[in-house]
């Protein structure tokens, strides 16, 4: 394949069968390698969808500035595409994210603004800070990935159809965590249009309120997580479009056990959200052991984006986290 620009190679990522986990569970578990997008994550799709939508509406023109609040991956996706399309980027992030993300953004030439982590209701939250910056600067466009449904639409138009075709139009379940809701919403909507029996499972880290919302209609959270970019405490416009059948909570110890297992048994260095997604898929497969279900999930990014944390014994000790062997491994 010859590409005219970096935008042309967003999407069409491989779907990898997780051989050892499939053998253990008697189900077929597949994971979409979104870390192979040019900016290194599933958020490249979101960035492309938002930019294309804004260009179509006349909201972006060469020389303009894209402003976004992000845990990092959407910012990297936006900056990757902006560099080629003639836009500047201002990225607002919490100051507790992995240093690998900051380094990547700095290399891409963005203006990086770090803010202290705080509840969404606080006006200093990275989301509100990004909006205020966009409103205060001329020729600026606020990407607004949480509420901009171009996010949902790009996954409905690309990610969902790719999974459906790559799995030979036979999908029994789709598992995904939620950051903005775009991936789960777009994929679940598409897959259920093809087959209403597709079971959709939301995998939520501790500290997020989505598990509680699915179960009771209320946003309540317990505990905390070292995962980045997933788990929220509000209903976004993108997540409103998700078609969710069930939700599970995954602890950091479970996520880390899967992250290390995948490295050592599948040759896959996956990020924290990917390990969480795959643990939830594995757990669901075990509950249906031997039934031959075909389960799909998403590997949002690579462990190399978090290696200063997840491969750092000092960091893990500080968080009182131990790497436990995966059950049945």
Catalytic residues: 43
- The Cα-based distances of 322 to 304, 309, 326 in angstroms read 19, 13, 12
Q: Is-contact 162 13, C-beta < 8 A? A: yes
Q: What is the mean pLDDT of residues 24-34?
A: 98
> Each residue of 234-260: pLDDT tens digit?
999 999 999 999 999 999 999 999 999
Q: Match 């597949």 to its residue by tokens.
A: 30
Question: Which DSSP category does 325 fall into?
Answer: P
DSSP run (H or E) holding 175: strand 173-176
Average pLDDT over all residues of the chain = 96
Q: How confident is the model at residue 329 (pLDDT cuts 50, 70, 90)?
A: very low
How many of the other CB atoms lie within 10 Å of CB of 164?
21
The DSSP code for 12 is -
For residues 283-291, average pLDDT: 97
Give the phi and the psi of residue 225 in degrees, each rounded to 5.
-150, 150
- Provide the pLDDT for residue 60: 96
CATH topology of domain 42-142: Rossmann fold (3.40.50)
Residue 242 · residue 185 · CB < 8 Å: yes
Assign 111 to helix, strand or coil. strand
- CATH 3.40.50.1100 for domain 6-38+158-319, yes or no, is yes
> DSSP code of 2?
-
Task: Please tell me the distance from the alpha carbon of residue 312 to that of residue 177, in angstroms, as a whole number.
Answer: 24
In the chain, where are the structural domains located? 6-38+158-319, 42-142
């Amino acid at each position: 394949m010859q590409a005219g620009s970096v935008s042309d190679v967003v999407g069409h990522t491989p779907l990898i069968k997780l051989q050892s986990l499939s053998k253990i569970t008697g189900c077929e578990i597949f994971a979409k390698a979104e870390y192979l997008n040019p900016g290194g994550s599933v958020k490249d799709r979101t960035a492309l969808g938002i930019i294309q939508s804004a260009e179509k509406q006349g909201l972006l023109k060469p020389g303009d500035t894209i402003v976004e609040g992000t845990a990092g991956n959407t910012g990297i996706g936006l900056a990757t595409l902006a560099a080629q399309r003639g836009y500047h980027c201002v990225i607002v992030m919490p100051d507790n994210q992995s240093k690998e993300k900051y380094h990547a953004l700095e290399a891409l030439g963005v203006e990086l603004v770090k803010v202290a982590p705080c509840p969404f209701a606080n006006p200093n939250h990275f989301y509100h800070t990004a909006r205020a910056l966009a409103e205060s600067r001329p020729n600026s466009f606020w990407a607004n990935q949480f509420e901009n449904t171009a996010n949902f639409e790009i996954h409905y138009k690309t990610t969902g159809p790719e999974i459906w075709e790559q799995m030979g139009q036979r999908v029994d379940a789709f598992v995904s965590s939620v950051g903005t809701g775009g991936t789960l919403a777009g994929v679940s909507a598409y897959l259920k249009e093809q087959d209403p029996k597709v079971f959709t499972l939301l995998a939520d880290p501790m500290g997020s309120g989505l598990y509680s919302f699915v179960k009771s209609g209320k946003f309540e959270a317990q505990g905390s997580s070292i995962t980045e970019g997933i788990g929220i405490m509000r209903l976004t416009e993108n997540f409103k479009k998700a078609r969710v059948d069930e939700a599970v909570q995954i602890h950091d110890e479970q996520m880390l056990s899967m992250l290390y297992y995948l490295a050592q048994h599948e040759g896959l260095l996956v990020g924290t959200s990917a390990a969480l997604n795959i643990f939830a898929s594995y757990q669901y497969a075990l509950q249906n052991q031997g039934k031959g279900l075909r389960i799909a999930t998403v590997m949002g990014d690579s462990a190399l984006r978090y290696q200063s944390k997840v491969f750092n014994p000092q960091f893990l000790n500080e968080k009182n986290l131990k790497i436990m062997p995966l059950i049945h491994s």
